[in-house]
Amino acid sequence: MKKPWYEWIQSIDRRIIYLVVFVLVSLPFFIPIPLPMDVSEQVQKLYNKVEEIAEYNKTAKKKKVVLFSMEWDPAVQAECWPQTEAMAEHCLTRGVPFILFSRWRPEGPTLAQQIAEKRAKEHGKKYGEDWVNFGYKRMDLPAFLAFIKDIYSQVTKDTEGTPIRTVPMMKHVESIRDVDLIFHVTGSVGVEQWIQYLQPETGVDVSIGCTAIIGPEMYPYLDSGQMVGMMEGLSGAAQYERLVGHLEGRGTRGMGSQNLAHFWIIAMMILGNVGYVFQRRRERLDKQRVEMSGE
């Protein structure tokens, strides 16, 4: 028996769907799609905050520092890499020293180091003077609280084994209060602990670069001002790249492909549901007919 159309459109093989996804995501690599992009409020705020630090650093002897809390691993590098890159680019070009550090993800600082090295090479910046890598310190809450109290009690050497006090950049940092912004990049959570334990005591601003998935969860903090800004997913990174003028970054390049992929998902949702609705209606009619004939 021939299948009715609503069953047919519900039974497309999943491999065909996969293939279409692959093709649709690939197409914009070769056929560029125009990208009119507005910079969202959260990204703009984050950018302004870093600019503010840069302005201060121009004249100050003891510079303000940004701490990159690199809680991401290769699984989410697609989003976190461009975010870190955009921020590192901004900090390096505008003379804002930064620290790489992680509590949960051993790979985070290693990948971030690679990013920083690449960007630094282009701008003639040097490790030790413009940034430092604390590396991975597996900290439970007690250790973290001590870290807030006294950085040097928890971090004695950088990843290269250089005693941390002899790294030139660290002359700007006596305590965590000299860090002016936390930039937490993550694919899961953990940013709350900065807000809970660091911010009330020291007034250090917290910001986040997160995968799009956890973006919505951050809005209560953005609303309350506990978080100054956010880069949300690839689009956040692309917007930041636009602000920094780093248009060859991974963020901007990827946005074209998002379009077709999104439309495909919406189309699939509609197709599946149309089939479902008609099938249900037919089933209901059949049932009624059976009941009628039964009488």
**Hey, is 170 helix, strand or coil?**
helix
Per CB under 8 A, the list member of 79, 85, 180, 241 interacting with another protein is: 79
Q: Return the number of the residue (57 or 113) whose C-beta is nearest another protein.
A: 113
Q: Return the number of the residue (203 or 294) whose C-beta is nearest another protein.
A: 203
139 binds another protein (CB under 8 A): yes
Least Cα distance to 177 among 209, 150, 211 occurs for 150
Per CB under 8 A, the list member of 273, 281, 282, 284 interacting with another protein is: 273
12 binds another protein (CB under 8 A): yes
32 binds another protein (CB under 8 A): no
User: CB-based contacts of 210: which residues, under 8 Å, 6+ apart?
Assistant: 79, 184, 185, 186, 187, 191, 218, 230, 231, 232, 233
Overall residue count recorded for the chain in this entry: 295
Binding string, residues 85-124; x marks residues near another protein by CB under 8 A: ---------------------xx--xx--x----------
CB 245 within 8 A of CB 122: no
288 binds another protein (CB under 8 A): no
131 binds another protein (CB under 8 A): no
Q: Return the number of the residue (12 or 54) whose C-beta is nearest another protein.
A: 12
Per CB under 8 A, the list member of 3, 17, 48, 168 interacting with another protein is: 17
Q: Could you give the CA distance from residue 116 to residue 92 in angstroms, rounded to a whole number? A: 9
DSSP 255-286: HHHHHHHHHHHHHHHHHHHHHHHHHHHHHHHH
200 binds another protein (CB under 8 A): yes
Q: Return the number of the residue (248 or 295) whose C-beta is nearest another protein.
A: 248
Binding string, residues 140-159; x marks residues near another protein by CB under 8 A: xxxxxxxx-xx--xx-xx-x
Residue 259 in tokens: 């379009």
Per CB under 8 A, the list member of 95, 272, 286, 288 interacting with another protein is: 272
Residue 71 in tokens: 């809680």
CB 234 within 8 A of CB 255: yes
256 binds another protein (CB under 8 A): yes
Instruction: Tell the smallest beta-carbon distance from residue 72 to another protein (Å).
Output: 11
3-class SS string, 105-138:
CCHHHHHHHHHHHHHHHHHCCCECCCEEEEEECC
Q: How many residues sit close enough to another protein to count as binding (CB under 8 A)?
A: 102
Q: Could you give the CA distance from residue 6 to residue 276 in angstroms, rounded to a whole number? A: 7
Q: Return the number of the residue (77 or 93) whose C-beta is nearest another protein.
A: 77
| Contacts of another protein in 33-72 (CB under 8 A) | 33-38, 40-41
- The residue range among 54-62, 168-176, 220-228, 283-291 that interacts with another protein, by the rule CB under 8 A, is 220-228
**Hey, is 186 helix, strand or coil?**
strand
CB 187 within 8 A of CB 74: no
H/E segment holding residue 98: strand 98-102
- The residue range among 16-24, 48-56, 58-66, 117-125 that interacts with another protein, by the rule CB under 8 A, is 16-24
Q: How far is CA 237 from the centre of its chain?
A: 7
245 binds another protein (CB under 8 A): no
Per CB under 8 A, the list member of 71, 88, 135, 179 interacting with another protein is: 135
| Neighbouring-strand partners of residue 179 | 65
